Structure 1
Amino acid sequence: MKSMKKDSSKSEIDSNLVEEARKTLIGAKDWFLEDVALMTAYWHDKMGYTEAWVDANWHYVLDESHELVEELDEKEDTALLWLINHANNNPVPLEECHVVGTVVEPGSYHCMSCGHDNVIETKQALAPCEICHYGLMSTHDDQTNKTE
């Protein structure tokens, strides 16, 4: 008799746990669906506002967009160059590097491979290194290797 009583109480506890778990899952599902509905409504409202603003001001957007794009491109290029130079600890700043085929001003162009100084007399397309034929030169003034 005692074992019957224990089994029925265990069965009741298991049944209560299952029922509580079911209620919790239903509540979580409802909460999640409500959040999704709120996020969807917010997104549609936000996008609707943005679309309405663009629709009302399209002429302004078209007139100003070319200048804005050029300005943003310039800022983005500057930021990217700074990031590359500082994040990689480049020995030569990229703005002082020149690739073969680029039109360059007269001056001395230091080969990034063998170190030879290639002297350019007139404004022209940069040729490969006279010694090793490498295609990357620098106008960076390297004080660490110079001995006087």
Structure 2
Amino acid sequence: MNSMKKDSSKSTINSSLVEEARKTLVGAKDWLLEDASLMTAYWHDKMGYTEAWVDANWHLVLDEGHEIIEEFDEKEDIALLWLINHANNNPVPLEQCHVAGTMVEAGAYHCMSCGHDNVVEVKQTLAPCEICQYGLMSTHHDQKSV
């Protein structure tokens, strides 16, 4: 008979533990669902506010966007030019190279083929070399004669 008393108290303890575990799991599930619904509501409100702001100010977004794109393009061009000049160890930096047919300022344009200095008196379209008709010139000062 003593064994029956011990077994019934163990079973009562076990059922109490199971019931407590069940309550804890239900509480955790409810907390998780409530937390998820709060986060959903927060993001819904936040995104709704953001969408409303963009709808109201779309012209500002477009105006700023064009300026930012132009600024990025300019920085990208500068970075690419630097990379090409330094990676290839160019003797003449590309920004000092000029192609026939482009508008140039007055000055001396050194032919990259024969080395002749083509002098331009006023701002005008660059003509091919007077001597060899080559179309690539340079304003780089430290170059050696070809």
The answer, yes or no, to whether TM exceeds 0.5 is yes
Deviation for aligned residue 1:144 = 4.6
Within-5 A mapping of 1:59-98: 59=58, 60-98=60-98
Q: Distance in 1 between matches of 2:110 and 2:82?
A: 22
Task: Letter of the 1:125 partner, please give it.
Answer: T
Q: Distance in 2 between matches of 1:55 and 1:127?
A: 56
Deviation for aligned residue 1:54 = 6.8
From 48, 54, 57, the counterpart of 1:57: 54
Query: Unpaired runs of 5+ in structure 1?
Result: 1-48
Q: Distance in 2 between matches of 1:81 and 1:74?
A: 11
Pair 99,144 (structure 1): closer, same or farther in 2 beyond 3 Å? closer
TM-score under structure 1 length normalisation: 0.58
Deviations 1:65-113 (A, max 9, x none): 1101110010000000000100010000001000001111111000001
TM-score under structure 2 length normalisation: 0.59
Query: Unpaired runs of 5+ in structure 2?
Result: 1-45
Structure with bigger gyration radius: 2
Within-5 A mapping of 1:10-49: none
Matched residue of 1:57: which SS?
helix
Tell whether the 8 Å contact from 1:100 to 1:136 is kept in structure 2 after alignment: yes
Deviation for aligned residue 1:57 = 2.7
Match of 2:130 in 1: 130
Pair 61,141 (structure 1): closer, same or farther in 2 beyond 3 Å? same
Deviation for aligned residue 1:130 = 0.6
Tell whether the 8 Å contact from 1:105 to 1:122 is kept in structure 2 after alignment: yes
User: Number of matched residues?
Assistant: 98
Tell whether the 8 Å contact from 2:91 to 2:143 is kept in structure 1 after alignment: no
Pair 62,114 (structure 1): closer, same or farther in 2 beyond 3 Å? same
